[in-house]
Amino acid sequence: MTPLFGPRAPATQLATSLLPGELRRPEVPVEKSSRTAEIIDAARTILEAEGADALTMRRIADRLGIQAPSLYKHFASKKAIEVALVTDGLAEIGEATHSALHEPGSSSPIARLLVAYRALCVANAAVYRLATQSSFARDELPAGLEEWAGNPFYVVTGDPALAQALWSFAHGMVVLELDGRYPAGSDLDAAWRAGARAFERATSTGDL
């Protein structure tokens, strides 16, 4: 299983033309020194292997063979490290969902979007969980990144209300799956399909 992550395999924007309503990825200034990159790399490794509780400044520093206070030469706070982690995760998820819009396929755009969204969120499970903690400093994310990452849901429905409903469905499915909230033995594929079909019909029938 190869890690599917930003800095390790930098996500590049495909040079395809935009669909109606599709946003372009916002420019995010990447001026990472090698040490900063190593720090978020170590943080991600710990986060994915042992979960959010294990992500402490001392553990991150340990992995790099330095002391915790030295991390503050590179990041202003632990929150800033988390923001860097989530920024990469959002970029990767957004990249995947945007490109799912353009891939041809036998299934509907909604189904393709949902499949891509689920796959990427599960692949970045720990980061996704981190981003949905209420203590996460969402307001320090790069401007426009969240909007861009959510944009495919607008493209695929063509209606703001339906887009938010579809996004909520997808987000809810992912969160409940990652937190193990469905009873054991649940057929989650069937639940995803059922939701996809409901929203496909809602878009094809028109709003009112």
Partner DNA sequence: TTCCTCGGCTAACGTTGTTAGCTGCCAGTA
Partner DNA sequence: TACTGGCAGCTAACAACGTTAGCCGAGGAA
The footprint of DNA (CB under 7 A) covers 33, 35, 55-59, 61, 65-70, 72-74, 77-79
**Side-chain half-sphere of 58: how many Cα atoms within 13 Å?**
2
**What's the rounded Cα separation, in Å, for the pair 13 and 17?**
11
- Please, which residue, 24 or 187, has the CB nearer to its own copies? 187
Residue 59 binding partner per list DNA, its own copies, none, with a CB distance cut-off of 5 to 8 Å that depends on partner kind? DNA
**Side-chain half-sphere of 94: how many Cα atoms within 13 Å?**
25
Residue 10 touches its own copies, criterion: CB under 8 A: no
Residue 66 binding partner per list DNA, its own copies, none, with a CB distance cut-off of 5 to 8 Å that depends on partner kind? DNA
Residue 24 touches its own copies, criterion: CB under 8 A: no
**What's the rounded Cα separation, in Å, for the pair 12 and 103?**
16
Residue 168 touches its own copies, criterion: CB under 8 A: yes
Q: At what angle do helices 125-132 and 109-123 cross, to 10 degrees?
A: 90
CB 54 to DNA: min, Å: 7
Q: How far is CA 105 from CA 65, 86, 111, 124, 189, in A?
A: 48, 30, 10, 24, 19
Sites of contact with its own copies (CB under 8 A): 51-53, 129, 132-135, 138, 146-147, 159-162, 164-165, 167-173, 175-176, 178-183, 186-188, 190-195, 197-199, 201-202, 205, 207
